[in-house]
Structures are given as C-alpha cells and as structure tokens.
C-alpha cells in the first residue's frame, strides 16, 4: 500500500561539518537525513521509504561531547510502501529452488512464491536453467516477470525489511510480458 506519512527521526551530523559558531548548514542536515533513509531502507512502523516529499522542520541540535557529533530532530513527510495481504503486485524471478522461487518487487528483495501456491506448475530440474512449467507450457524461470498476490508480510528484524509470502492462486496471476523489447533482434 502506498501512503504519505509524517515521520520524525534524529539525524547525526559529523563534527567536521560544524561551523565556527556551532551551527550546521541546513543542506548538510538534509543530506544526512537522505543518507540515513537510504541506509535503513525500511522501518517496521512505516514500511519502505520511497521519497521525502516535504521537510517540515529541523529542530535545534545538541552536540555530543564524546564524539563531537551534532544530533538534530527532523520532521518530514514521505511516501512509503507497506506490503499488505491481498495486494496484487509484479515481481521479477531472481532465484529458482525446488520448492519455490524468490522474486524482487519494487523495494522488496524477499518475496517467496512457494511451489504449493503455484497451481498446475511443476518443477523442471535443468542444472542452471531450473524452472517451473505448467500444462500450457508457461514457464517460470530467472528473469521472468510474475503477477502475484501477497498472502502475508512479516517484518524481518535481521534483514531490516519485510519478508513476503506470495501466491498465484487467483485470476490473471502468473507470468506476464513486460512492455518493451521482447527479445527479438531486427
């Protein structure tokens, strides 16, 4: 689910950016905020950070004597994405295993599509070209785009992002063709 939300976080600015009067330029604080969001990528309470849309306020900072860093509370609005059960999405297969496939979809790297949730598909071992094939010769292999429905999503603290369980049970779900080059060279 895409949403716009207000967030607050504490940004740490290294002491080398402090001016002689003890101030820190606003652009340095904003850069530190963007770098922080890029590094964490997602938070359990918010979801995946896609874009900062508005900088509301930068609070007065305090300098920590032990490291010489400055800490600033920053309030901002941002666009977020949170995976919700029942949402239909598109992902690209990046790993094929005997019991299912892993997809990447938008900012999510851990989307698992179990063989049990792929009706009429069976595993085709083939060395490095492992795939799932159905009776209509539709193939799921590395690089294929898949339309899927989210069954469940859970925050994985160790990875710092959501783990998603996907399914192909439903109408219009499965391998799809993406717009663009279809692999034909003219």
Q: What class has domain 88-176? A: mainly beta
- The per-residue pLDDT for 142 is 94
- The per-residue pLDDT for 182 is 53
Divide the 186 residues of the chain into consecutive groups of 10 and give the mean pLDDT of each group.
93 83 84 93 93 92 81 94 96 95 94 95 88 91 96 93 95 86 50
- The CATH number fitting domain 2-81, selected from 3.90.79.10, 3.40.50.450, 3.30.1490.120, 3.90.1170.50: 3.30.1490.120
* Start-end of H helices in 79-140: none
Q: Which among 179, 53, 54, 166 is positioned nearest to 108, based on CA atoms?
A: 166
For the whole model, what pTM was predicted? 0.82
How are beta strands 70-81 and 88-97 bridged, if at all? unpaired
- The per-residue pLDDT for 61 is 83
Q: Tell how many helices (H) and how many strands (E) occur in the chain.
A: 1, 14
Q: How far is CA 156 from CA 53, 89, 108, 151, in A?
A: 27, 20, 12, 16
The contacts of residue 141 (CB under 8 Å, 6+ apart) are: 93, 96, 129, 130, 131, 132
Max Cα-Cα span within the chain? 73
Domain ranges of the chain: 2-81, 88-176
- The per-residue pLDDT for 3 is 94
Answer yes or no: are the C-beta atoms of 144 and 153 closer than 8 Å.
no
């Amino acid at each position: 689910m895409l949403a716009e939300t207000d967030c607050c976080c504490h940004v740490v600015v290294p002491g080398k950016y402090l001016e002689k009067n003890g101030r820190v330029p606003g652009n340095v604080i904003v850069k530190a905020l963007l770098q922080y969001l890029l590094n964490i990528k997602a938070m359990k309470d918010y979801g995946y950070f896609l874009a900062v849309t508005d900088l509301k306020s930068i609070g007065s900072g305090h300098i920590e004597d032990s490291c010489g860093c400055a800490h600033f509370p920053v309030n901002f609005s941002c666009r977020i994405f949170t995976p919700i059960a029942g949402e239909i999405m598109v992902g690209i297969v990046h790993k094929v295993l005997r019991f299912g496939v892993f997809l990447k979809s938008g900012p999510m790297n851990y989307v698992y599509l179990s063989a049990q949730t792929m009706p009429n598909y069976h595993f085709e071992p083939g060395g490095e070209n492992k795939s799932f094939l159905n009776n209509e010769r539709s193939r799921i292999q590395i690089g294929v785009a898949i339309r899927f429905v989210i069954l469940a999503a859970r925050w994985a603290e160790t990875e710092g992002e959501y783990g998603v369980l996907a399914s192909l049970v439903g109408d219009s779900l499965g391998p799809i063709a993406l717009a663009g080059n279809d692999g034909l060279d003219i």
